[in-house]
Structures are given as structure tokens and as C-alpha cells.
Amino acid sequence: MNAPAVITERPAEGVGLIRINRPEARNALNLEVRRLIGHYLTEMTDDDSVRCIVLTGNDKAFAAGADIKEMANASTIEMLLRGTQKMWRTIYACPKPVIAAVNGFALGGGCELAMTCDIIIAGESAKFGQPEVKIGIIPGGGGTQRFPRTVGKYKAMRYVLTGDLFGAKEAFDMGLVSEIVPDAEVEKRAVVMAAQIAELPPLAIQQTKESVIRGMDASLETGLTLETRTLQMLFASQDQKEGMAAFIEKRKPKFTGR
């Protein structure tokens, strides 16, 4: 019996981990992997015991791109009917923080998968890139959109037009990576950070994420208005009362997500 292409774990309290498990294909994103990532992400979104999610692969590859063998002979209509954009939308719409723990290759769809997450922890030897032009196509999971919005037009163009790869340090310097750690510590660091976030008030965390994401697509004035209204709304939460009371009383707060 073949091992599942995607597996889930609960490495710490409040933390759900989704692991791509196709080592024989360097974790290439075939249709089954995409379906399962979307499925498990939806499950964890609906599970109140999960407050932060880690998405990872193995020590050799986060995800080395789309499964080229699966799409090489596909027609336009076949590509349309596959609905591969559903996974990207599911990740982007997840109200809970998603941390990408990246070791090895994060290329093409793998790089786009990492960029869809909220935080990227990369190993020192990680390699990123959007090499789609080398096989006659373009990035299809946000590489021509999220990449330039993150690092700027000229840096992004340098890589999407050449297909060249770049390392973790350059990714960090460009603002694409949140933190670099030794290769052996990538997953551990991601889980520790996820557990740290999971201890915080869930409503405040979710609203912070939404304010950042929605504000990025709006004018500064609109974004500031959203931020103000969200802050005011959170004063209706039990967690706000508990958090401030605990601060005043110099004790550890107990957040319930209410």
C-alpha cells in the first residue's frame, strides 16, 4: 500500500501540521497533493483546537513544483477543468496563520505555495525559484502577482524572466523569507513559532491577519480605517477583557477565543 501523499500531525498544542509526502517526486504538487492540502486545511480551519498551521515537506524538498508528467499533454480545457486554483484560494482564505517550513527546493508551484502562507521559515540551504519559462509556461499560482508585490518589480522580473534559482539568504534579503535557520532546525522552529502564536487570543490573531491582507489590496486610508474598526470591535471580546486584566494583575492570561 502506498503512503499517503499528504499527512497531518499535531506536533504541539494548538498546532496542526500538514506534510507533503512524495519524496520520490521531490514533493511535486500533483492533483492529489493539491486536493489533500485543501482538504486538510479546511479541516483545520474548522477545528477550534487548531490555532496555527505549519505546512512543510521533508529535508530535501518543500515542493519542487508542479507534477510536469501529469500536465505535459493536457489540453486547455483539461487544465481549466482541473481547477488547480482552488488550493491556492483555500490557503489564502484560511483565517488562521499558516507558516511554511521550507527545506530544500521550493520551486515553481512550491515557491508559490510558500508565498501563499503568512510566514516563511527557511533552512540555510533552501532554494527558491520560478523556472516555469524554461518549460514554455508561466507561473500559475501567483508567481507573477505575489512575487512582485512582495519583492518589487525589478527583483521579481529578474527571476521570472530567467527562471534562475536563488538561495535562502537572497530570499531573506528581498523580503520573501521571514527567518533563516540551520537546515536541521527548520521544522522545529516553525512549530515553536506556531505554538507561540497558538497561545495568543485567537480572535486577535485572526483579525490581525485579515487586517494585514485586506489592507495590502486597499489604499492606506482604507486600510487604516479597517484597522481602527477592527481594534474597536475586539473590545467586545472576552479575550480582550481577560488579556488586559491579566496584564494589570501580572498573571498569565487564559484565552478562549470568545
Residues with a known catalytic role: 66, 109, 112, 132
**Residue type, position 105, single letter:** F
From CA 149, how far away is CA 145, in angstroms rounded? 6
From CA 194, how far away is CA 123, in angstroms rounded? 17
28 closest CA partner among 90, 118, 119, 105? 105
Inter-residue contact 226 to 208 (CB < 8 Å): no
* CB-based contacts of 166, cutoff 8 Å, min separation 6: 127, 128, 129, 159
From CA 118, how far away is CA 208, in angstroms rounded? 11
Inter-residue contact 101 to 54 (CB < 8 Å): yes
Strands ordered across the beta sheet of 52-56: 6-12, 15-20, 52-56, 98-102, 119-123, 179-181
C-alpha cell, 138: 508561466
119 closest CA partner among 166, 64, 35, 56? 56
Pairing assessment for the beta strands 15-20 and 6-12 based on DSSP bridges: antiparallel
* CB-based contacts of 52, cutoff 8 Å, min separation 6: 14, 15, 16, 96, 97, 98, 99, 194, 195, 197, 198, 205
